[in-house]
Amino acid sequence: MDLKNKTVVIIGGTSGIGLATAVEANERGAIVHAASRSKEKVEAKASEHPDINFFQQDIHDSLGLEKSFRALGEIDHVVAVATGANRKNAPFMEQSPEEFKEAFNKFWGYTNVARLSIPLIREGGSLTFVSGFPARKCNVGMSSISATGCAVEGLSRALALEVAPIRVNVVAPGIIDTEAFDRLGEGKSAALENMGKNIPIGRVGKPEEVGLAILHAMENPYMTGATIDIDGGILLP
Ligand SMILES: NC(=O)c1ccc[n+]([C@@H]2O[C@H](COP(=O)([O-])OP(=O)(O)OC[C@H]3O[C@@H](n4cnc5c(N)ncnc54)[C@H](OP(=O)(O)O)[C@@H]3O)[C@@H](O)[C@H]2O)c1
């Protein structure tokens, strides 16, 4: 099933993995709509990629999200990739309950996307969530993002049963060089290079390498309830 003339909606599509997916889907002939919160990012990406329809939308604003989905009419493929939370990397016992719960805002955003888009997805269509390697390989300080990732993966399998034949899958990235690491400032490249040394492939990943797996989840008509790990082998023992 190719993506030519298929309608693809990506929530969290102005940066990193979501943007790379939008660009690749557009190159394969899809009609791509990509959203995020920041007006600046939406405007900047719209001028860089005029063939993609970027729009402003917070994944937590369920009324706005419902309006945005309805305005698009029928949809073929939906991707929920927004980070949607300020996560604190710290051991569980060093986080307040509020800090721990904050990580789950990613999950609640994904439930909004699922609830509001599934009624609009055409036969043969799909919903893809993005989790992350900490769901199944957790270092100290990752308890909240690990638990959130597990929740995303569990929800996708449960939904895959309930909404079939609409397909629901997860793509779980390893460490990927995206704007998410811009907080490291000038040390970003060196830090990512260092992280790459502990990964079997020997480097961190590129957003488009994860995008390829998301496109596969859209295009493969027999894939549902699956989790695709794109992580350079980081999950290996
Ligand atoms: N990079 C990695 O190493 C890595 C590893 C494992 C898992 N992941 C997961 O992969 C996904 C994408 O990460 P990334 O590295 O590509 O991050 P990124 O480059 O920071 O992109 C995140 C995207 O989500 C949007 N976003 C954030 N909060 C949002 C909200 N409340 N509503 C709508 N859009 C929102 C951002 O735009 P705005 O700021 O404009 O909203 C941006 O477009 C995330 O779910 C992340 O947890 C990433």
First to last CA, the chain: 35
Percent of the chain with pLDDT over 90: 99
Confidence class for position 216, pLDDT limits 50, 70, 90: very high
- The tens digit of pLDDT for each residue in 67-88 reads 999 999 999 999 999 999 998 8
In the predicted structure, residue 1 carries a pLDDT above the cut 90: no
Which residue minimizes the CA distance to atom 6 of ligand 1?
A: 132
What pLDDT sits at residue 38? 98
**Contact residues of ligand 1, CB 6 A cut-off:** 11-18, 36-38, 41, 58-60, 81-84, 106, 109, 130, 132-133, 173, 175-176, 178-180, 207
Strands 7-11 and 75-80: what pairing? parallel
3-state secondary structure of 191: helix
- The tens digit of pLDDT for each residue in 169-205 reads 999 999 999 999 999 999 999 999 999 999 999 999 9
For the chain, domains (ranges, CATH) are 7-177+207-230 (3.40.50.720)
